[in-house]
Structure 1
Amino acid sequence: MKASASPPERRRGRRMKVTIVGVVVAITATLSGATTSVGSPSGEAGAVPLTKVLPQPAEVRTTAGVAFDLESDDAVHATGGSGDAKAAADFLAGLLRKPTGYALPVRSLAAGAEPDGIVMALGGNNSVTQAEGYQLDVTSRSVTVRADDRAGLFNGIETLRQLLPVKVERQQRMPGPWRIQGGRITDAPRYGYRGAMLDVGRHFLPKTDVEKYIDTIARYKINYLHLHLVDDQGWRIEIKEWPELAKIGGSTGTGGLLGGFYTQEDYRNIVQYAWARGVTVIPEIEGPDHMHSALASYAKLTCDGKALEPYTGWGKSPDGGLCLDNPTTYEFLDEVIGEIAALTPGPYIHVGGDEAAGRSQAEMDGYFEKVAKLVEKHGKKVFGWQEAAGSLPAKSVTEFWVPGNNEDRIIASAKAGGKVVMAPAMHTYLDQKYTDSYPEYPLGQTWAGPTSVQSSYDWKPEEQIAGLPATSIAGVEAPLWTETVFGINQAENLAFPRLLSIAEIGWAKASSHDWNTFKPRLAAQGPRLRESRVNYYLSPEVPWPLGS
C-alpha cells in the first residue's frame, strides 16, 4: 500500500517536520538480520535505516514516511526524581551539543507528560522488562527511550547514536538536518556479560588512552572492562600500604618499554568514566603466577628473602610465582585486595589463575580458597581464569580461553551454580594478527591465530566445551594482550573491527547469527569509527563504504 500525504504538521509553531503518515512494517531481527525492508527510508531524506544498528536489535518496526528532526530549541527530558534517568539524559545531551551546536537543556519530566524532543524515561509504560533492555520510539514529535534500569537507558542511547547521521561523531559544529527514522525498536541482550579485557600490565597505557578505549566499546554495548592490572612485566596500580609495587614494579614493561602506573585517583577516574558510559570495571590482580613485578618490589614476598630483578621478557617469567608457604603473601594480598575493592564499585575482582602449570592441584585449591575468602571479606565476588575453576567457591565466575584445560572442573563448577565467560583465544583474542600475510599485517601474534574478522564472528559460545550447560554461560569477552602492542593506535587497530563481532555475539539472538547479514551492518560502522578517530583495520573481508 502506498502512503498518502497528510497536511504539514508543526511542532510548537516551528518549521515543518517529516510527517507523511505511513505504514508500520515489522522487521524481526531474529529472522535474517536484513538491513533493508519495505518502507525503509533509503530514499527518504537520508535517515539511517533502523535495521543498520550493531549489535542487531531483537525487533525493529519501521514507520514508513515518518522521521524526527532534532531542532535547536529541543530539550532532553528525564524522569523526574530519577538520578539514573538524569545521568543518561546528561550523557546524551553532552554527546549531541558539540556536533549540533544546540543548547539541549536537560529538564525534569513530570508524571504523565509527553513533551516534544528527546525523552529518557525510567520505568512506566515499557514493554521490555529484561535487565538492560530498552524500548526506543521515534515519532515526528519525539524520540523516547524507555527502560526499567539505568543500563537499559544507556543501551538505548547507543542505539539512538547510530541512527543519527555519521557527523554526530564530530567534535565540532556541523550543519543539520539531524534526522532519525520513525519506528520502534524493542531490544534486550542475549547475555548479561559482554566484556573487553585490556592488558596494561605488559605495556602501560595512560589513563586517557584507556578512556578512549572505553568510549569505543561502550557504543557497541560492551558493559564490562576487565582491566589486567598486574603481570610479570609490570604492576600498574598504586597501593598505599605497599608503595614499592608502583615505584619498582611499575617502572618498566615488556622489552624494557612503556612503564608506568595509575595513581589511585587515576584509577577512580577510569572507573567513574566507564560508569558514566554504562561500563563496569573489573580489576584483575594476578596469582599465583605472573607476579614477578611484585617479587621484584619486595624481598619479603619471595621464598628466600631476596628481591628479584625486574622482568622485561616477552613471555611468562619462570620466576614469577608467589611463595605460597609464606604468610606474608596472604597479608600482602589482603591489603592489596582491600584497597582495590574500596576503589571499585563494581561487583567483581578477578584473581587470575592462568598458566599455573607448575602448580599441583592441592596448591591451586589451597591458594584460591584463601584468596576467595579475602575477596569476599572485602565485599566482592570472585572471578578467575579457567585454571581456577573448581578451586574457587561454587558460584564463582571463571573465564574459558583455551580448549582441553581443566574442562571437567569447569563443567562440575557450572553444574554447582558457577558461571562461565567465553573467551576462546582462536576467536576472541584481539592480539592475534588478522592475517599472516606479510607485510600487510605485521602487528600482533599468531600462536592462536591469525584470526580474521569472519573467524571472530563465526563461533558459538555454547559449542566451546562439550557437556557444559548452556545456561551456565554468563557471556563473552574479547581480551587484548599487549606484549606486541605499543600504544593506543596499535591497540585499536587490533581490536576494531573484531571486537564488534564479539559485541554482536554477546547481544544479538543466536537465531540471527549470519555473517552475510552482519557484514553490511559492520561496514556501516566504518565511517563512524573514522569520525571518532578510532584507528581500526580496513579488513578486505568487509565491504566498507566511502568515507571509511
Structure 2
Amino acid sequence: MKIQQWITACWATLTLGLAACNGTTSPQETTLVPRPVSVEKSDGAFRFNRNTILAIADETQRPMAENFAALFTRSAGFTPTVQTGQEGDIVLIPDSTMKAEAYELKVTLRQITIKAADNRGYFYALQSLRLMLPPAVEEQAETDAVWAVPAVTLKDEPRFGYRGYMLDVARYFLPKEDVIRMIDCIAMLKINRLHLHLSDDNGWRLEIKKYPRLTEVGAWRVDRPGKTFPERRNPKPGEPTPIGGFYTQEDMKEIIRYAAERQIEVIPEIDIPAHSNAALAAYPEYACPVVKDFIGVLPGLGGNNSEIIFCAGNDKTYTFLQDILDEVMSLFPSRYVNLGGDEARKTNWKKCPLCQARIHREHLADEEALQGYFMGRMADYVRSKGKQVIGWDELTNSKLPDESIILGWQGYGQAALKAAAQGHRFIMAPARVLYLIRYQGPQWFEPFTYFGNNTLKNVYDYEPVQPDWKPEYEPLLMGVQGCMWTEFCNKPEDVFYLTFPRLAALAETAWSPKGQKDWPSFLKGLDNYIAHLSAQGITSARSMFNIQHTVTPTADGKLEAKLECERPDMEIRYTTDGSTPTAQSPLYEKKLVIDKDITIKAVTFAHNEQQGKLLVLPITWNEATARPLNGIPQAANVLVNGLRGSLKQTDFEWYTGDLGKDISFTVDLQEEKDIRECTIGCITNYGMGVHKPRTVKVELSIDNQTFTEAGILAFTDADIFKEGNFIEDLAIKTDGRKARYVKFTLETPGNCPPDHVRPGQPSKIYIDEVIIK
C-alpha cells in the first residue's frame, strides 16, 4: 500500500466513516483542520449527484458556489447546479444574528444547510464541506468515489480576525500560476490574509509604470550556480542577470481577484528604507551620495552592500517612494500597506551629509530617530490615502508611526508588546516558531537552510497570548502570521514543501478556540488535508514521519540512544545488525544502551507500511567515547557520543561555544592510556561564517593538575576562510605518551576577512567529534 492509499484509507475510516462504500453509513468522526468550535454527529450521510442543486441567497455568492461545484466537474463527471433562491439540496441561508465569518453547517441525509451573516462565513462552511469530501474530489480526471459527506452539525467561528501567511516573492520569484495554486491551498485552511513581500535586496517584483527600471533592472540578478543563498558573492558591473521575474499589474489584478473570491485579502509590502538594493540598482540616485560602490541586485546576503539603503535626507527619495505607493495603493484594494522598516543598518546615514542635515534640521537625537522620522513621514502619506500601515517590530526602536500595526517577529515577538503598551494593534509572527524557512523536522533529512528547527509540533503548540501579558494587550492582538521566506527556494515545489503541512498547524491556532487543541485529533484532520493537496499534485513535507535521535553518554561509561517521532501514531522499528528495518523488526520502546561499535537503523511504520525516511546511526567507539568532559557545558557531550555530525552545523550533533570566544575542555579517560593521536572534527559552512579554529592545542596530564603540551596546529587565513561546506578532522600525533587527562584548546579564528561574504563579522567554531587513539 502506498502512502497516498494509506491517507485515503484514513480519510475513509476516520473522517467520513462510510462503511464499505456500499451506500450504508456508519459515521464515526468528522476531523477537520482547523478544528471547528463544535461538532455534533448524526447518523447517515448526504450524497452528491448530477441532480444536486446548490441554492445561493444572492448573486454575490455565485463565484464561491460555482468554484465549489466545479470541484465535481472533473473528478466526479457532473457539476451541481447553482441557482438563486431557497430551494435546493444545499442551501445558503442568511442569518444576521451570527458573528462575522461564523457559520453553521448542518448535514442530513436529504439536505445541507449553511447559515452565515456574510459571504466569508458561507465560504468557510464550503471549505469545511470540501474537506469532508473524499480527497479524490481534487483530481483532474474522473474518479470512482463515493461523493458523500457524513451527517453532522458544525458551529464554527474564528478566534482571530487576522489569519495570515506571508509569501516572500522577492528572494525567489514564484510564478503567478503558483501563487494562485498557493491561494487555493491556504484558502482551504481559512487563512484570510496573504502578505506579499514584493521588494528586497534580491528582487523587485511588481510593475510600476512610472518607474519601469524597477522591473527592467531590479527584477533580475546574477546566477551563482551551485551556491546557497548565504554563499553567493555580489554582482559585478556588466555581469548577465538571467535570474528573476516580476508581476505585471494585470498579473497582480488576477492574483488579487482570485484571492478575493476565496475571501483572502492580499496585502502588499514595499520594504523601506532597507532591503532596497534591487530598487536602488535601478535608481541609484536615491541612495546616500556617500555610496560609491556599484549597486546591483544582490544574489545573497550582500555583505556590506546590504547597508546601502534609501537616503533619508534627500527629499526626492520621499517623492519617489510616494509615486510607487500611489500605484501600489491604486492596484491593491487591501486596507493595509506594509512598509517594512526592518534591519536598517545606518552605516551610510552616519556619513551622509544629507542625512546628518536632516537630523539637525528636525532636531532628531540620532540615526535611529531619523528612521522614526522616515517611517513616520511615509506612514502619514499612506494614511492620507485612507490606508493603514503595517511594519516589522523594529519600528518600536524609535517613535512609532501614528496608528501603525506592528508585526512581532524577533525572537518570540516580544518587541510587539512595546507597541501594545503604547496602544498599537499588533500581529504575532515570531521567528522562533512561525518562520517557515527553518528546519521542519530532523535536520539530517531536510534541505539546507540557515539554522534552527520549527517543527510541525512546535508550530502547533504555539500559543500567542502568554500568561505574563498585561490584560490590555490581548484585545490589541489582531492575530498570527506564518512567514515563508524563500532564500533557499529554487523552484515552486520548494516553497510548497516548506509551507505545508506547517501552515495547517498555524491555521488551527489562528482559527480554533484557545485551550481546545488536541494533537492526535489534529493529525487525523491533517492527513485528510494533505490527501486533498496530494490529489492536486501539491508538494508537502513528510518530515513529521522522520525520527529525531539523541545519543548521550551515561554515568557508567555507556551510551544511550533515544529515538523520537513527533507523531504518536507511528511505530519505530529498528535493527542493529546492518539490515534495513521492516514492519516485523524490533519495536522501539525504550532507550537503547550501547557499549561498542554499532549501526542503528530505524524507520517509522503505520499499518505495516513505511512512513518516514531511514535513519542510520553509525556509532563508532574510541578512547574518548562516553568519557566525562570537564570545563565545558553539558551540551558538549555530543563531542563524545560516538556519532559524527552532518553537514548541517545545527543538527544537534555539533558543539559551539560562546560567539567569538575560545573553546577549552578536558577529557577524563578515567585511567592512564598510551595516547597516540588526538583528533577533533570541525565543520566549514562558508556562507554562515562557520570556520575551523585558528589554533588547536592538545595538552596531556596524569593528575589533571600539571599539563604538558603534546602538539599544536596553527592555520592561516587562507587555511581557515575557505569557501564551501565540508568537514575536516584536525589530528595531532602524540607518540604514545601516557595520560589520563587530555585537554583541547581551540582559538577562535576571529572576524571574517574583508573579501568574505560576511566581512568583519565574527566567525564561529563548530566541533564534533573528539577521537582519541
2:49 to 39, 56, 71: 71
The aligned counterpart of 2:30 is 51
Alignment of 1:280-319 (within 5 A): 280-304=265-289, 308-314=295-301, 317-319=305-307
Q: CA–CA distance in 2 between the matches of 1:502 and 1:406? A: 18
Alignment of 1:273-352 (within 5 A): 273-304=258-289, 308-314=295-301, 317-352=305-340
Kindly provide the CA deviation profile for residues 261-303 of structure 1, in whole angstroms up to 9, marking residues without a partner as x: 1111111111111111121100100011101111110132122
Classify the secondary structure of the residue corresponding to 2:183. Answer: helix
Amino acid at match of 1:482: T
Structure 1 residues 404 and 498, CA gap change in structure 2 (3 angstroms)? closer
Please state if 1:445 is matched with 2:417.
Answer: no
Q: Does the aligned pair in 1 maintain the 2:105–2:154 contact within 8 Å?
A: yes
Most deviating of 136-145 and 382-391:
382-391
Amino acid at match of 1:107: Q
The aligned counterpart of 1:419 is 425
The aligned counterpart of 1:205 is 174
Amino acid at match of 1:480: M
Please state if 1:118 is matched with 2:90.
Answer: yes
Amino acid at match of 1:456: V
Kindly provide the CA deviation profile for residues 77-134 of structure 1, in whole angstroms up to 9, marking residues without a partner as x: 111xx3332222122112232212113221111xxx3x3422233x23x76x121111
Q: CA–CA distance in 2 between the matches of 1:183 and 1:351? A: 45
1:47 Cα offset (Å): 7.3
1:404 Cα offset (Å): 7.9
Q: Does the aligned pair in 2 maintain the 1:199–1:481 contact within 8 Å?
A: yes
RMSD: 2.6
Classify the secondary structure of the residue corresponding to 2:167. Answer: strand
Q: Does the aligned pair in 2 maintain the 1:457–1:502 contact within 8 Å?
A: yes
The aligned counterpart of 1:514 is 518
Amino acid at match of 2:137: V
2:374 to 339, 350, 367: 367
Q: CA–CA distance in 2 between the matches of 1:510 and 1:295? A: 45
Amino acid at match of 2:202: Q
1:339 Cα offset (Å): 0.3
Q: CA–CA distance in 2 between the matches of 1:282 and 1:308? A: 28
Q: Does the aligned pair in 1 maintain the 2:204–2:278 contact within 8 Å?
A: yes
The aligned counterpart of 1:143 is 112
Q: Does the aligned pair in 2 maintain the 1:238–1:261 contact within 8 Å?
A: yes
Amino acid at match of 1:398: I
The aligned counterpart of 2:391 is 384
Q: CA–CA distance in 1 between the matches of 2:242 and 2:465? A: 39
Give TM-score, length-normalised by structure 2: 0.61
Q: CA–CA distance in 2 between the matches of 1:494 and 1:168? A: 24
The aligned counterpart of 1:15 is none
Alignment of 1:449-528 (within 5 A): 449-463=452-466, 466-467=469-470, 469-528=473-532
Q: Does the aligned pair in 2 maintain the 1:203–1:257 contact within 8 Å?
A: no
Q: CA–CA distance in 2 between the matches of 1:156 and 1:333? A: 41
Classify the secondary structure of the residue corresponding to 2:220. Answer: coil
Please state if 1:92 is matched with 2:36.
Answer: no
The aligned counterpart of 1:28 is none
Q: CA–CA distance in 1 between the matches of 2:297 and 2:432? A: 31
The aligned counterpart of 2:409 is 401
The aligned counterpart of 2:752 is none
Q: Does the aligned pair in 2 maintain the 1:196–1:225 contact within 8 Å?
A: yes
Amino acid at match of 2:297: P
Please state if 1:106 is matched with 2:89.
Answer: no
Which of the pair is proportionally richer in strand? 2
Classify the secondary structure of the residue corresponding to 2:344. Answer: coil
Q: CA–CA distance in 1 between the matches of 2:331 and 2:59? A: 21
Amino acid at match of 2:74: K
Q: CA–CA distance in 2 between the matches of 1:242 and 1:482? A: 26
Q: CA–CA distance in 2 between the matches of 1:173 and 1:40? A: 23
Q: CA–CA distance in 1 between the matches of 2:307 and 2:25? A: 60
Classify the secondary structure of the residue corresponding to 2:30. Answer: helix
Q: Does the aligned pair in 1 maintain the 2:27–2:41 contact within 8 Å?
A: no
Classify the secondary structure of the residue corresponding to 1:525. Answer: helix
Amino acid at match of 1:521: G
Structure 1 residues 464 and 200, CA gap change in structure 2 (3 angstroms)? farther
Structure 1 residues 188 and 406, CA gap change in structure 2 (3 angstroms)? closer
Please state if 1:272 is matched with 2:257.
Answer: yes
1:48 Cα offset (Å): 7.1
Q: CA–CA distance in 1 between the matches of 2:119 and 2:151? A: 24
Structure 1 residues 464 and 308, CA gap change in structure 2 (3 angstroms)? farther
Q: CA–CA distance in 1 between the matches of 2:24 and 2:507? A: 30
Q: CA–CA distance in 1 between the matches of 2:260 and 2:501? A: 23
Most deviating of 375-384 and 299-308:
299-308
Q: Does the aligned pair in 2 maintain the 1:293–1:310 contact within 8 Å?
A: yes
Q: CA–CA distance in 2 between the matches of 1:423 and 1:465? A: 18
Classify the secondary structure of the residue corresponding to 1:463. Answer: coil
1:176 Cα offset (Å): 4.0
Classify the secondary structure of the residue corresponding to 2:479. Answer: strand
The aligned counterpart of 1:229 is 198
Q: CA–CA distance in 2 between the matches of 1:465 and 1:342? A: 42
1:464 Cα offset (Å): 9.2
Kindly provide the CA deviation profile for residues 141-179 of structure 1, in whole angstroms up to 9, marking residues without a partner as x: 211222111111111111000111121111122234211
Q: Does the aligned pair in 2 maintain the 1:382–1:392 contact within 8 Å?
A: no
Q: CA–CA distance in 2 between the matches of 1:47 and 1:107? A: 32
> How many residues end up aligned between the 2 structures?
498
1:393 Cα offset (Å): 3.7
1:377 Cα offset (Å): 2.4
Q: CA–CA distance in 2 between the matches of 1:513 and 1:361? A: 42
Q: Does the aligned pair in 1 maintain the 2:27–2:42 contact within 8 Å?
A: no
Q: CA–CA distance in 1 between the matches of 2:384 and 2:402? A: 16
* Percentage of identical aligned residues: 33
Alignment of 1:161-180 (within 5 A): 161-180=130-149
Amino acid at match of 1:517: S
Q: Does the aligned pair in 1 maintain the 2:412–2:430 contact within 8 Å?
A: no
Give TM-score, length-normalised by structure 1: 0.85
1:40 Cα offset (Å): 6.8
Q: Structure 1 unaligned segments of length 5 or more: list them.
A: 1-34
Q: Does the aligned pair in 2 maintain the 1:76–1:107 contact within 8 Å?
A: yes
1:207 Cα offset (Å): 0.4
Q: Does the aligned pair in 2 maintain the 1:232–1:290 contact within 8 Å?
A: yes
Q: CA–CA distance in 2 between the matches of 1:464 and 1:84? A: 42
Classify the secondary structure of the residue corresponding to 1:371. Answer: helix
Larger Rg: 2
Structure 1 residues 83 and 370, CA gap change in structure 2 (3 angstroms)? farther
Kindly provide the CA deviation profile for residues 29-69 of structure 1, in whole angstroms up to 9, marking residues without a partner as x: xxxxxx979x97677846775531110000111112x2111
Q: Does the aligned pair in 2 maintain the 1:300–1:328 contact within 8 Å?
A: no
Amino acid at match of 2:32: V
Q: CA–CA distance in 2 between the matches of 1:40 and 1:106? A: 28
Q: CA–CA distance in 2 between the matches of 1:496 and 1:369? A: 36
Q: Structure 2 unaligned segments of length 5 or more: list them.
A: 1-12, 223-228, 233-240, 350-366, 546-565, 571-605, 612-773
1:459 Cα offset (Å): 1.6
